[in-house]
Amino acid sequence: MRIGLVCPYMWDTPGGVQYHVRDLAETLRGLGHDVEVLTPAESEESLTEPWMTWAGRTVPIPYNGSMSSVHFGPVSAARVRRWLREGHFDVVHVHDPAAPSIGLSVCMLAEGPIVATFHAATVRSKWLTVWGPMVRPWLEKISGRIAVSDFARRVQVEHLGGDAVIIPNGVHVDVFAEGPSLPGHTRGVDGPTIGFLGRYDEPRKGLPVLLEAMRTVVRRHPGAQLLIAGRGDPEALQELVGADLRPHVALLGELTEEDKAAFLRSVDVYCAPNLLGESFGVILIEALAAGAPIVASDLAAFSAVLEDGAAGVLVRRGDAAALAGAIGDLLVDPVRRAELSARGQEVAAGYDWSVLAQRILAVYETVIVPGGGEVTATGGEEILLTPDGPGRGTRRARVRR
């Protein structure tokens, strides 16, 4: 099958959607499918694989509590048309198509089967509130909709109408389950270690709540150490940590994929104190695959991944005292940590890309019309094939959840 994947966000800026598209592309190619990716990036040289096409640079704007990438204009449209024309795709799969970027352009210009995955979890989107009625006709060309969680599904239903089959984010489980630990941080051997990974200068990630909780944790466990990995301003973080916590905090910076896996295999407890804006939480699946017991805020998306507390400890978001109590209780209970680790690895197995890719392929097969031809770029009036003959719109398909 010829498959075109579209990532709307800067490829060389780490993020969950970028990792999702990358892993899906690699998995599908490993299954023998011909896959190409269209994505913006800082430069064309950032794209190291021959099956990746540069869509140009973007302009960052606030979107979904983070930063999105605006990418419109005649140059962008020309690149999209050329990619569609030369790709000869059986299906095009756009990620976050409602974001003001390249994915929306593809929906505007593509003619043929389009599948979309919705990742965003904004309860109220100013962008969709203002522009939703205008972009909806283009999004109605999507014939197969996927959401990474029930929350992401509800958001797109409320803003855009229609429904979506839920297929969550995936991980390569074996990458996290097997391998070395970080030097000097062997789980259960080198002292109590708590891990945090994320953009620590982004308020919604909740690091200040975790730091406040750590002040209580270190009084109960004087040898406890917090390992912080991710991007942000190190000087600002040091000021946030404060002199009292500095002996108990290690800043690791941005990690390679290999080092991230080692980091998750090293910590005694992984903490996700996020406050809002999470539609899924891939890092939780990665931590589960690595056998790390988890303490997380009770966001709906996190609760779903952790099976309402069966695969990890959930605490009220923003509650530093509850977070400190949960972390401290786990650190003194090796039996409970072992139970959570074992259950977590069972849960993670269901999120392996080998499993999820087959579900996504089933959606592709549902929307492709036998003998209907390939995806092409529109020119002038958009006349598409429907089951009843020529006309505006696309073939619609019902996907069972």
Distance, in Å, from the CA atom of 91 to the CA atom of 158, rounded to the nearest integer, reads 26
User: What residues form DSSP beta bridges with 67?
Assistant: 62
Amino acid at 101: S
Name, in order, each residue with C-beta under 8 angstroms of 394's C-beta and a sequence gap of 6 or more: 113, 114, 140, 141, 142, 143, 384, 386
Mean pLDDT, range 358-371, rounded to an integer: 92
* pLDDT over 90 (residue 153): no
Mean pLDDT, range 174-184, rounded to an integer: 94
* Residue 166 dihedral angles phi and psi, to the nearest 5°: -90, 115
Percent of the chain surpassing pLDDT 70: 86
If one counts every other C-beta atom within 10 angstroms of the C-beta of residue 73, the result is: 10
pLDDT bracket for residue 376 (50, 70, 90): confident
* pLDDT over 60 (residue 298): yes
The pLDDT assigned to 161 comes to 72
pLDDT of 245-254, one tens digit each? 999 999 999 9
Ordered by where they begin, the domains of the chain are 2-170+353-391 (3.40.50.2000), 173-349 (3.40.50.2000)
CA 324, chain centre distance (Å): 27
Mean pLDDT, range 301-314, rounded to an integer: 95
Q: How would you class 90 by CB atoms within 10 Å of its CB: exposed for 0-12, middle for 13-18, buried for 19 or more?
A: buried
Higher per-residue pLDDT: 313 or 14:
313
Quickly tell me which residue has 């190291």 as its tokens. Answer: 48
* pLDDT over 50 (residue 394): no
Report which of 189, 186, 238, 196 is spatially closest to residue 217, judged by C-alpha positions: 196
Q: Judging by DSSP bridges, how do beta strands 389-391 and 269-272 pair with one another?
A: unpaired
The pLDDT assigned to 101 comes to 82
- 275, 209 in Cβ contact below 8 A? yes
* Residue 103 dihedral angles phi and psi, to the nearest 5°: -65, -40
The Cα angle at residue 89 between residues 85 and 94, in degrees rounded to 5 = 95
Distance, in Å, from the CA atom of 35 to the CA atom of 4, rounded to the nearest integer, reads 6
Higher per-residue pLDDT: 5 or 376:
5
Mean pLDDT, range 323-345, rounded to an integer: 97
* pLDDT over 50 (residue 391): no
Percent of the chain surpassing pLDDT 90: 63
Quickly tell me which residue has 């979890």 as its tokens. Answer: 121
Mean pLDDT, all residues of the chain: 86
What is each CA distance from 251 to 107, 115, 200, in whole angstroms? 42, 40, 10
The pLDDT assigned to 196 comes to 98
User: What residues form DSSP beta bridges with 52?
Assistant: 37
* pLDDT over 60 (residue 130): no
Q: Model pTM?
A: 0.81
Quickly tell me which residue has 């040898």 as its tokens. Answer: 223
Amino acid at 167: I
